[in-house]
Structure 1
């Protein structure tokens, strides 16, 4: 009877194996829709007796890096921490797993799954991922081809952008003070001027720059006259404009750096310049030398006379050329004594100082220049300037959020004393901006202090990118789920926190909308 019972247990069917599916759609390859991938994966699962119990989906995400691909990061995190309740990961093909420029990175994430006892199967490939010699060779070739496709596409896109620059079309970026973005059609017929945050909707439309309001153009021309004819420094001009209550393009006070940018940017004489900075394949950001720039002369209507622009350039170049290395270091030493610390922003705001980029060019890096004057930036004091910049940016973020609520159909009132937003007379919302911190090991961290004393129902936590220049993402944190007034975020925070993460505030604006309800019987 024992043998019979044991035989009966062994013959009991175990059921289908549990599987998770990973789907990804990139913005540059729309034919791979997630629906098509799901259908192919479902057919594969049915043929191989697999039951899909979990889905990880990245919508509109490039496969070049794992950064920004929250679903894949969550999958790997679940696998590493033994939270995975499946034994197989199903992916449409090798390229959906990733188009990493380094094929070893793709292999690394797959090996992470394999090490935890979880197989990765590619449902639309002509090989079985069974570890055989043939499948290993084919898979390695596929990975290399996926990365090579990204490199070829990057080269083609760059060539196309250079051609458009030569035709006088603007390729991204803010217009700058005294300029506006003009939308034109394929026949170069002017359409409308685009405001901040507005983009073209037709593929055939293009954007050029045109002079802005007359009062802004007059300020730009005045800046050049003050600098060239009256020999005033950038700091003196900034102080003069701030004293007169004239804000810059973002509604903030002028600084030496913002004045310097106007005096050195060729767009003010109508030149279209591109490729100053490279960020190809989302790898390392590189500042290119002038000989690599792509330039189209007289592409736009000039705001200032070319004679004034070239005179300003000569003054700035001579101001730098006439300084020897020793003199530059002496000025840096004096600035250090005045400020007590050094950073790129401190140097750029220093009167009669060469710019931080000049120090980088002359000495190889700012760190080397610091060491030459005996300064050890053991602690990064740049956070002072970063915090100041974020404080000046807060009113803009606040006004944009209020505008989004109103546009969605909601109502909003601002408590000017606390900056708390009351939406539809029902929900209190607080906004905090978290600067990015770099740990000694190279990791990124964000520290938040929640305004629990003000008792907001929701806190919108805005994470800045690693340069603290652009918004990275948003966390909509309900107070009912927050047990502490202090929060420390990493790049990956697990489902408990990342469930509240959003790339934009569209979901929040939709949540703020008011909807008409029908009359109930």
Structure 2
């Protein structure tokens, strides 16, 4: 099943398979389930991966696989993929039987033709559903409703009912639960809105660079909406985002049918202007865009490439993040607009990366981020009444003199197929009771989620994580550090005389 709204789907399938087994005299010895996972690719399908692994690893204690119907392998865009997984089972000596189909999977021409048709129908169902969902999201954007994503610094998500009446603000990680409710963006706290305006004024009127603005905010103790330090890149994102003048822009990038992520041409963006309450004056915003555009438009193509080549010579690698963090270089967006894509610009300066990452600079940025993560952990534990000291020898956090905590940051890597991967090195020599692994998002700027792991339960020195890892690891993944803070929570009790 692909969503929690289909929570009875797997139960219904299991019941039908059980009846079929009883009628045919089969004994069910093992069950493989993928609950709440998309069937568009095998990533995240831990049940299917375990099934194939057990069969091909000769660990299967069964000779037949009962499948509800042909589409349960998945609604893959390439219908041959489902056939491939069935073939892998048969090649390892395990037969496949479909319990809810009107044909026997006996290898006859009739059954093979029906399987081909049903696989193609499953793929077409996904394609048609994708088209309908996109059309519905496009319409909601044009009506002025927000479609996913955090609101950003200085803004908040407000829930409204079908009549447009406010139902309150949504906190981070909260989502609407009623289908007819919608989400819009509204100005956040007054001090945050003032900071956004100040960023624009410092940039336009004060002629400060993004890096200078970031340094000033950090010195004042101001943090981003994700409670991170400001960088040139995060300030730049505030300066170029139209949501601060009330515009709703969507479809900058696509990930349709769980295939490779693509960055769409601006002509493909879906937009609705003046639908949110702005917190930045339009004239001020336009002035900022003019400055940003002038930085690249006043340079010829050759001059831009010279700047990019200089950066490559200094750093030894290129990435969109690295470009945006460099003062004497046009923004990554400028290179995309001028040359069609960053990859094309890379080719013109003789750089051919396997992936668009500058590993050295990302690692440096993550090392700078580590102290702020430690501070976030300490502040959260103390907010819940815990007491934290840092052991000078091991650098572990000792909480309430009861358990120790190690904090590591896991850089996100993208495979050639567009899949996200993380590697977590466990400090087993220090034997902390709990390891917090901060999994960074695809841009390696903000935390995606947190692995709060009882270290002594793990035998590996290094964990290699995917987006979905099965219940043995994913049960320790959390979107916030609140579960850790609750572990350290202490309450004062009145003394009994």
Query: Secondary structure of the equivalent of 2:97?
Result: strand
State whether structure 2 residue 139 is matched by structure 1 residue 163: yes
Query: Which ranges in structure 2 are unaligned for 5 or more consecutive residues?
Result: 490-497
TM-score using structure 2 length: 0.85
Matches of 1:176 and 1:246 in 2, distance apart? Answer: 14
SS of 2:453 mapped into structure 1: strand
User: How far did 1:95 drift?
Assistant: 1.9
Instruction: Check if 1:62 corresponds to 2:38.
Output: yes
1:251 and 2:227 aligned: yes
Structure 1 residue 402, shift from structure 2 partner: 8.5
Residue of structure 2 aligned with 1:85, choices 45, 52, 61: 61
Deviations 1:215-240 (A, max 9, x none): 11112112222222333332232233
1:402–1:74 CA distance, 2 compared to 1 (3 A): farther
Change over 3 Å in CA distance of 1:106–1:424 after alignment to 2: farther
Aligned residues between the structures: 484
- Structure 1 match to 2:195: 219
Within 1, Cα distance between the matches of 2:463 and 2:398? 26
Q: Is the 8 A contact 2:396 2:404 kept in 1?
A: yes
1:305 aligns with 2:278: no
Whole-angstrom distance in 2 between the partners of 1:379 and 1:162:
31
Shift of 1:128: 1.3
| 1:310 Cα deviation from its structure 2 partner | 1.7
Change (3 A) 1:131 1:403: farther
CA distance in 2, matches of 1:44, 1:380: 51
Rate the CA distance shift 1:509–1:291 in 2: closer, same or farther, 3 A.
same
Deviations 1:77-99 (A, max 9, x none): 11221111111111111222211
Cα deviations by residue, 1:422-474 (Å, 9 ceiling, x for unpaired): 67865544343322446799997643322224322343445556665663784
Which among 272, 276, 284 is matched to residue 248 of structure 2? 272
Is the 2:399–2:488 Cα contact (8 Å) retained in structure 1?
no
Is 1:504 matched with 2:480? Answer: no
Choose 163-172 or 190-199, whichever is displaced more: 190-199
Judged with a 3 Å threshold, the aligned counterparts in structure 2 of structure 1 residues 26 and 187 are, in CA distance, closer, same or farther, namely: same
Q: 1:172 aligns with which of 132, 148, 152?
A: 148
Q: Which has the higher contact order (CA 8 A, sep 6+)?
A: 2
Structure 1 CA distance for aligned equivalents of residues 304 and 365 of structure 2:
27
Q: Structure 1 residue aligned with 2:47, among 58, 71, 85?
A: 71
TM-score (norm: length of structure 1): 0.82
State the shift of 1:109 in Å. 0.8
Aligned twin of 2:158: 182
Q: Partners of 2:362 and 2:272 in 1: how far apart?
A: 34
Pairing of 1:313-332 with structure 2 (within 5 A): 313-332=289-308
Does the Cα contact within 8 Å between 2:438 and 2:451 map onto a contact in 1?
yes
Which runs of no fewer than 5 residues in structure 1 stay unpaired? 1-24, 515-521
Q: Per the alignment, in what secondary structure is the counterpart of residue 131 of structure 1?
A: coil
- Aligned partners of 1:411 and 1:424 also within 8 Å: no
| 2:381–2:488 Cα contact (<8 Å) kept | yes
Q: CA RMSD in A?
A: 3.6
Structure 2 residue 25 is matched with structure 1 residue 38: no
SS in 1 for 2:280: coil
After superposition, residues 316-395 of structure 1 pair within 5 angstroms as 316-375=292-351, 377=353, 382-391=358-367
Partner Cα separation in structure 2 for residue 34 and residue 318 of structure 1? 57
SS of equivalent to 1:479 = helix
Deviation at 1:116, TM superposition (A): 0.4
Residue among 459, 468, 476 paired with 2:453: 476
Question: 1:64 and 1:229, CA in 2 relative to 1: closer, same or farther beyond 3 A?
Answer: same
Paired with 1:69 and 1:285, the residues of 2 have a C-alpha distance of: 19
Judge which range, 265-274 or 347-356, deviates more.
347-356
Distance 1:350 1:106, change over 3 A: same
Quote the offset at 1:205 in angstroms: 2.0
Question: SS of 2:216's equivalent?
Answer: helix
CA distance in 1, matches of 2:119, 2:280: 51
Indicate the SS of the match to 1:207: strand
SS of 2:156's equivalent in the other structure is strand
Change (3 A) 1:161 1:477: same
User: Cα gap change, 1:512/1:114 in structure 2, threshold over 3 Å: closer, same or farther?
Assistant: farther
CA contact (8 A) 2:390 2:397 kept: no
- Kept after mapping to 1: 8 A contact 2:381/2:388: no
What secondary structure, in the 3-state scheme, does the structure 2 residue paired with 1:386 have? helix
Q: Is 1:284 the equivalent of 2:260?
A: yes
Give yes or no for contact 2:17–2:99 (8 Å, CA) kept in 1: yes
Aligned to 1:434: 410
Counterpart in the other structure of 2:183 = 207
The CA deviation string for residues 113-136 of structure 1, in whole angstroms up to 9 with x for no partner, is 011011121111111111111111
Confirm or deny: 8 A CA contact 2:449 2:477 kept in the other structure.
no
**Corresponding residue for 1:21?**
none
- Residues 170-218 of structure 1 deviation map (CA, whole Å, 9 limit, x = unaligned): 1111111111111222222222222222222322222111111111111
Cα distance in 2 between the residues matched to 1:399 and 1:311: 37
| Equivalent-residue separation in structure 2 for 1:231 and 1:411 (angstroms) | 45
